[in-house]
């Protein structure tokens, strides 16, 4: 298996794990299963958000100091990358709160 195939397999596995956990967390009948699925999905989503922020969003900030890139392009590129990373952090927090709270509404 080449490095590219391995990367796609890891990505597909993570998407499957997050998607399956999300479905179990919101559609599961057993409250214990829902809580566990929410916590597992929060952990995996948090790992993806952390690595995405560290690997893509933070290094992207260097575009503001690059004279070859206009400020407008740097702002638009950074806004898109940071919105994606912040949305992952939002999903992580939402699932963690759902999995850790004691009272169900």
Domain boundaries, the chain: 3-100
- Name residues whose C-beta falls within 8 Å of residue 77's C-beta, 6 or more positions apart in sequence: 60, 63
Per-residue pLDDT of the chain (105 residues; tens, 9 = 90+): 787 788 778 878 888 887 887 787 778 788 888 888 888 889 988 998 998 899 888 988 898 999 998 999 999 989 999 998 999 899 899 989 988 887 655
**Backbone phi, then psi, for 8, in 5-degree steps?**
-65, -35
Mapped onto helix, strand or coil, the DSSP state of residue 14 is helix
């Amino acid at each position: 298996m080449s490095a590219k195939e391995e990367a796609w397999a890891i990505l597909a596995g993570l998407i499957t794990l997050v998607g399956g956990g999300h479905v179990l967390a919101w559609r599961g009948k057993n409250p214990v299963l829902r809580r566990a699925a929410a916590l597992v999905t929060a952990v995996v989503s948090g790992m993806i958000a952390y690595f995405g922020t560290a690997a893509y969003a933070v290094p992207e900030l260097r575009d503001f100091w690059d004279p070859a890139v206009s400020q407008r392009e740097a702002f638009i590129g950074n806004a898109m990358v940071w919105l994606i990373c912040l949305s992952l952090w939002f999903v992580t927090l939402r699932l963690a709160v759902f999995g850790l709270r004691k009272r169900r509404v």
